[in-house]
Amino acid sequence: MGTTYTYFCPRCGKPTRYNSDRGGLCIDCYTELRGIKLGQKDISVELVVCMGCGKIKYGNTWFEPSRQNFDSILRNIVRKTNLRFFDFKIEMPSDLELSSLSQFDKVYVLTSIFIAGQRTVRRRIEIRINRAFCPICSQKRSGKYYESVLHIRFSREDRSELINILNMFIETNILRADRLEVIDIKKNGAHGIVIRCSSKNLAKKLLAMLHRKFSVIIMNKYREQVTVDIQNKPQRRSIEKYIIRLVKA
């Protein structure tokens, strides 16, 4: 494998990589003493992925689906199989779209496993995808989670055009979105609405769309600290609030 070792097996003196699961022995001595064998079948593991945002669960924590997080989590999960006795390297496919993992039932990656005498073998790791909702997406689905609130005032003549813009926005940014987002719209008087957005980015997209047809006058913008329960644990969050007046451009 072209590796320079600085550790030696205490039984035979062979240079090797230290592995606490083998008690410091090289793989040859360990397999000879324990009879551990590497089978021919795929190594099978399970991964929990959020259906709403694509986050990956490890332990009680949900992680963003970055390549670094995926590699680290997969390595830790694989170390709970018989591969923990071997030195191995996971080969990450460059075309694996991690943000879309929840769309699959299974995905496969390859691993190179050091056996003995500088030999390596390759095995497939079968990753079974279990779908769930992370705590935040569960809150979004229940309508209890939002990050931005827009209080919008408009004239009677602009009502119809505003409705068309909101319908278009929901179609393109909610119904066709690749991650779960929620928007809640409620009437506020004869010429006003209150819009709650599940993310700050969603609110910014809506403002950008409104700018195409109206002069968006932000009369006030401020942050409000609120306490929400996520998995029965109170958490402090900052909510962005806008007071907006729409004027025909």
Which amino acid type is present at position 68? Answer: Q
141 and 218 assigned to the same domain = yes
> Is residue 106 pLDDT above 80, yes or no?
yes
Which amino acid type is present at position 25? Answer: L
Between CA 127 and CA 145 the distance in angstroms is 31
Tell me the percentage of the chain whose pLDDT exceeds 90. 49
121 and 67 assigned to the same domain = yes
143 and 234 assigned to the same domain = yes
What phi and psi, each to the nearest 5 degrees, are found at residue 107?
A: -135, 160
239 and 159 assigned to the same domain = yes
> Is 2 a member of any domain?
no
Contact call for residues 236 and 226 (beta carbons, < 8 A): yes
pTM: 0.73
107 and 152 assigned to the same domain = no
143 and 122 assigned to the same domain = no
186 and 157 assigned to the same domain = yes
For residue 31, give the nearest of 47, 14, 45 by alpha carbon.
Answer: 14
β-bridge partners, 215: 247
238 and 151 assigned to the same domain = yes
The alpha-helical segments, DSSP class H, found in 79-134 are: none
Q: What is the pLDDT of residue 29?
A: 80
> Is residue 7 pLDDT above 50, yes or no?
yes
> For the chain, how many residues are written?
249
Whole-number mean pLDDT of the chain?
Answer: 87
Q: What is 219-244 written as a DSSP string?
A: EEEEEEEEEEEETTEEEEEEEEEEEE
102 and 193 assigned to the same domain = no
Contacts of 112 (CB under 8 A, 6+ apart): 88, 89, 91, 120, 121, 122
Per-residue tokens: 184: 């809640």
Per-residue tokens: 86: 């071997």
> Is 85 a member of any domain?
no
> Is 111 a member of any domain?
yes
> Is 37 a member of any domain?
no
pLDDT band, very low/low/confident/very high, at 36 (cuts 50, 70, 90): low
Residues spanned by the domain of 69: 43-79+91-132
Contact call for residues 9 and 25 (beta carbons, < 8 A): yes
> Is 177 a member of any domain?
yes
Average pLDDT over residues 136-161: 91
Question: Percent helix, strand, coil in the chain (nearest 5)?
Answer: 30, 40, 35
173 and 201 assigned to the same domain = yes
> Is 1 a member of any domain?
no
159 and 239 assigned to the same domain = yes
Q: What is the pLDDT of residues 11-29, one digit of tens each?
A: 888 787 788 878 887 777 8
241 and 167 assigned to the same domain = yes
> Is 108 a member of any domain?
yes
Domains: count for the chain = 2
Question: 189: helix, coil or strand?
Answer: coil
> Is residue 1 pLDDT above 50, yes or no?
no
> Is 205 a member of any domain?
yes
| Residue that the structure tokens 């987002």 belong to | 181
Contact call for residues 134 and 51 (beta carbons, < 8 A): no
